[in-house]
A and B are shown apart, each in its own frame.
Chain A
Amino acid sequence: MRPARAVAPARPPRSPRPAARRVATGLAAALLFPSLAEPAAAQLAGSIGVQNTYRLRGYSISGGHPVATLDLYYDHPSGIYLNASGLGELGHDANPEFLGYIVNIGYARRVGRQLSLDGGVVRTQFSHYAAGRSAGAHYTEIYAGLAGRGLSAHLHYSPDYYRRGASTLYGEIDGALKPAENWQLSAHVGLLGYLDYPGAPTIRYRPRSVQYDWRIGAARQFGAVSLHADVSGGGPGAASPYRASAYRYARHQGTALTVGANWVF
Chain B
Amino acid sequence: MIDARSRVGQLVLAVLGVLAILAIPSARAKPAKGAADREILVMLRLPPDHYRPNAAYGGSYGAGLTASIRRRVAVRIARRNRLELVGNGWPMPLLGLDCYVMRVPDGTSVAAAIDRVSLDPAVSWSQPMQVYQTQGGGGTATDPLFATQPDATLWHLANLHRIATGRGVTVAVIDSKVDIAHPDLKGQVVASENFVAGHPSGPERHGTGIAGVIAARAGNGVGIVGVAPAARLMALRACWQTGPGAAPTLCDTLSLARAMLFAIDHHADIINLSLAGPDDRLLEKLIGIALDRRVAVVAAFDPKLAGGGFPASMRGVVAVVNQDMASIPAGVYGAPGRDVPTTQPGGKWFLVNGSSYAAAHVSGLLALVRQRHGADARAMLVAAGATGGAIDACATLLGAASPCGCACTPAEVASAGR
Contact = CB atoms under 8 A, between A and B. Distances in A.
Main secondary structure of the interface of B (DSSP, over half): mixed
Nearest to B265: A114
A248 interface: no
B418 interface: no
A156 to B, nearest CB: 9
A51 B69 contact: no
Contacts of B71: 223-224, 264
A38 B121 contact: yes
Contacts of A221: 27, 64, 67-68, 88
A73 B16 CA distance: 26
Given A69-B59, A85-B58, A110 B96 contact: yes
A228 B45 CA distance: 27
Which size bracket describes the interface of B in this complex?
A: 35 or more
Contacts of B93: 110, 113-114, 148
Nearest to B70: A43
Q: Which of A47, A81, A148, A265 has the most CB of B within 10 A?
A: A47
B278 to A, nearest CB: 27
Main secondary structure of the interface of A (DSSP, over half): strand
B51 A106 contact: yes
Interface string A130-146: 00000000000001010
A247 to B, nearest CB: 13
B65 interface: yes
B5 A94 contact: yes
Contacts of A117: 48
Contacts of B327: none
B304 interface: no
Interface residues of A, number: 87
B6 A118 contact: no
Q: Which of A50, A106, A223, A265 has the most CB of B within 10 A?
A: A223
Nearest to B21: A227
B1 to A, nearest CB: 10
B53 to A, nearest CB: 5
A29 interface: no
Given A221-B68, A264-B71, 15 more contacts: A38-B121, A39-B121, A49-B59, A52-B9, A77-B45, A79-B47, A91-B6, A104-B52, A116-B48, A145-B51, A182-B88, A222-B21, A223-B26, A224-B68, A260-B59
